[in-house]
């Protein structure tokens, strides 16, 4: 195993995920194979009036803490448990993502969550709360340029941290998020620099620059 590259969604450095040998895979839902880009897109920054959004099941220990501190506490913090899984509930979920500045990507039972890629699809800056998580394509992408990492212990300070980010910096992060969006898109037929090619590139990169030089 010391000479193998593992490609894992659960890229957890506390569970033997090895940097830079192993590859972190993005967690994505392909809702329609015929129209994989159906839900991509969101409001421009000037029309995003919600500071932060989260909705999801209470998986693991972290999400109940998030709701304890922020559910129904501030009008610009839309922090919920699970929304209904009917058509209206799913549409409401997507609408919140498309109109929020920051989308909270809090880990569940494992360190990864599909909200990271969903946020990127919606143009909502991901706020990753998962201490041991290694994001996808870390070999190539500067994640701190288009997302926010918050330590689990700092959940009580979540709103203060987000409000401390200037409007100018947020605009820059949003622009960079839009620029990297192409690398997380699925297409019916793979296109240059898309998610399919990025995964292959990560495996190739680690094989060439780590395994062969060890």
Q: Find where tokens 């969550």 sit.
A: 113
Please give the pLDDT value at position 30.
Answer: 79
The answer to the question of residue 207 being in a domain is no
Structure confidence at residue 35 (pLDDT): 85
CATH number at residue 150: 3.40.50.2000
SS3 content of the chain, % helix, strand, coil (to 5): 40, 15, 45
Residue 186 is assigned to a structural domain of this protein: no
Q: Is residue 59 part of a domain?
A: yes
In a domain, 196, yes or no: no
How many residues belong to the chain?
Answer: 214
Q: C-alpha 184: how far from its chain's center?
A: 10
Q: Indicate whether 49 belongs to any domain.
A: yes
| Helix (H) / strand (E) containing 24 | strand 23-24
Phi-psi region of 95 (alpha: psi -120 to 50; beta: other; left: phi over 0): alpha
Residue 78 C-alpha from the chain's centroid: 17
Tell if the pTM clears 0.85, that is, is over it. yes
Is 165 part of any domain?
A: yes
Residue 203 lies in a domain: no
Count: domains in the chain: 1
Task: Tell me whether residue 146 is in a domain.
Answer: yes
pLDDT at 178: 96
Tokens (6 digits) for 81: 């448990």
Residue 56: closest CA among 135, 131, 112: 112
Task: List pLDDT tens digits, range 13-54.
Answer: 999 898 888 999 999 987 788 888 888 999 999 999 999 999
Residue 161, domain extent: 7-13+41-181
pLDDT digits (tens, 9 = 90+) for 78-133: 999 999 989 999 999 999 999 999 999 999 999 999 999 999 999 999 999 999 99
């Amino acid at each position: 195993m010391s000479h193998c590259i593992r490609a894992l969604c659960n890229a957890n450095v506390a569970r033997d995920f090895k940097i830079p040998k192993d590859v972190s895979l993005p967690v994505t839902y392909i809702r329609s194979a015929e129209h994989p880009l159906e839900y991509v897109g969101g409001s421009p920054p000037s029309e995003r009036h919600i500071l932060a959004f989260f909705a999801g099941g209470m998986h693991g220990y972290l999400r109940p803490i998030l709701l304890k501190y922020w559910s129904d506490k501030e009008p610009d913090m839309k922090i919920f448990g699970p929304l209904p899984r009917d058509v209206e509930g799913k549409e409401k979920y997507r609408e919140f993502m498309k109109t929020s500045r920051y989308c909270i990507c809090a880990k569940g039972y494992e360190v990864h969550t599909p909200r990271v890629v969903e946020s990127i699809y919606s143009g909502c800056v991901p706020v990753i709360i998962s201490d041991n998580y290694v994001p996808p394509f870390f070999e190539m992408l500067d994640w701190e340029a288009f997302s926010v990492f918050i330590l689990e212990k700092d959940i009580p300070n979540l709103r203060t941290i987000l409000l401390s980010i200037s409007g100018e910096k947020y605009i820059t992060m949003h622009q960079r998020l839009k620029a990297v969006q192409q690398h997380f898109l699925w297409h019916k037929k793979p296109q240059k620099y898309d998610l399919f090619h990025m995964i292959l590139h990560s495996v190739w990169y680690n094989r060439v620059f780590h395994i062969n030089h060890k």
